């Protein structure tokens, strides 16, 4: 089948969490690497549960989280913070007992941690509707903030980071695994506000030059399926079951 090229949504400079929450509100969400705070201690990761993106998502969407931090997840459960996180390896999703499909699959700041991120992209295919939105955020290799930090010897790489992406190879990466890119933007994260006037100046600058932003914000959809309304798909499944009965 001939591929139909579509124009990307205009690049913007977004506030990461607010953009994600707006996209996920009232929908079913699979949140990969949901614990976050990977450079923090065990106690800090537990303490910051209610400051996490997963906490905010859980207040407005039907969320299933997956994370390999078993001790942290068990402590969350003991404290009653979360009961919607499954302990698992996102590179071995076929081993998890999840039968659902999701409206949104969120891959927020995790692909740079993985040894084989392509295995994750293959694994999530089992959880996709034809119109599922896959949201990927990851540090931007060509982002100006980290380049300036590098030039001034203030750059700090995440303790678990093993690869970097730019807006070109992240597209290659997703398309290699059959996904169609709908949007590539950049974004800032909430802790950036701590920089005061520098943050305000930077946000104004990157609003005009978003391709220099420090974190990529990518939205993709399954490119290997023909999109059809879900009511039609559900009706087809119902008819098939009736024929089998």
DSSP secondary structure, 134-152, as one string: EEEEEEBTT-HHHHHHHHT
| 15-25 pLDDT tens trace | 999 999 999 99
pLDDT digits (tens, 9 = 90+) for 170-190: 999 999 999 999 999 999 987
7 has pLDDT over 80:
no
3-state secondary structure of 188: strand
Please name the residue that has the structure tokens 């891959």.
107
For the beta sheet containing 85-87, the strands, ordered from the edge strand earlier in sequence to the opposite edge, are 13-15, 179-188, 215-222, 128-139, 102-108, 28-32, 62-67, 85-87
The closest of 116, 115, 108, 35 to 77, measured between CA atoms, is 35
CB 146 within 8 A of CB 173: no
Phi, psi values for residue 56, rounded to 5° = -65, -40
Q: Residue 226 pLDDT more than 50?
A: no
What pLDDT is attached to residue 234? 53
| pLDDT at residue number 159 | 81
Distance CA 40, CA 1 (A): 48
Find out whether 103 and 132 touch, Cβ atoms under 8 Å: yes
pLDDT tens digits, 57-109? 999 999 999 999 999 999 999 999 999 999 999 999 999 999 999 999 999 99
pLDDT per residue as tens digits for the range 98-140: 999 999 999 999 999 999 999 999 999 999 999 999 999 999 9
Q: Which residues pair with 186 in a beta bridge?
A: 13, 216
* Residues 35-62 pLDDT 10s: 988 788 889 999 999 999 999 999 999 9
Q: Is CATH 2.60.40.1220 the right assignment for the domain spanning 13-244? A: no
Instruction: Give strand pairing partners of 217.
Output: 137, 185
Nearby residues of 18 by Cβ (< 8 Å), 6 or more positions away: none
**What is the structure's pLDDT at 202?**
87
pLDDT interval class at 229 (50, 70, 90): low
| Rounded CA separation 178/216 (Å) | 20
């Amino acid at each position: 089948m001939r591929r139909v090229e579509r124009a990307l949504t205009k690049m913007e400079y977004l506030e990461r969490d607010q953009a994600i929450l707006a996209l996920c509100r009232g929908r079913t969400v699979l949140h990969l690497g949901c614990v976050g705070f990977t450079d923090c201690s065990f106690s800090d990761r537990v303490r910051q549960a209610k400051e996490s993106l997963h906490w905010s998502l859980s207040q407005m969407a039907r969320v299933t989280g997956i994370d390999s931090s078993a001790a942290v997840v068990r402590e969350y459960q003991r404290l009653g913070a979360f009961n919607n996180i499954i302990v698992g390896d996102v590179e071995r999703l076929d081993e998890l007992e999840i039968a659902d499909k999701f409206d949104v699959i969120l891959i927020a700041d995790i692909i740079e941690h993985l040894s084989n991120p392509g295995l994750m992209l293959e694994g999530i295919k089992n959880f996709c509707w034809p119109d599922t939105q896959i949201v990927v955020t990851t540090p931007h290799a060509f982002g100006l903030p980290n380049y300036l930090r590098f030039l001034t010897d203030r750059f700090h790489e995440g303790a678990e980071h093993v690869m970097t992406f730019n807006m070109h190879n992240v597209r290659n990466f997703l398309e290699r695994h059959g996904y169609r890119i709908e949007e590539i933007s950049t974004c800032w994260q909430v802790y950036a506000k701590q920089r005061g006037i520098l943050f305000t100046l930077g946000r104004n600058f990157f609003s005009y030059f978003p391709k220099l932003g420090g974190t990529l914000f990518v939205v993709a959809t399954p490119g290997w399926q023909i999109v059809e309304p879900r009511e039609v798909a559900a009706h087809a499944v119902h008819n098939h079951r009736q024929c089998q009965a």
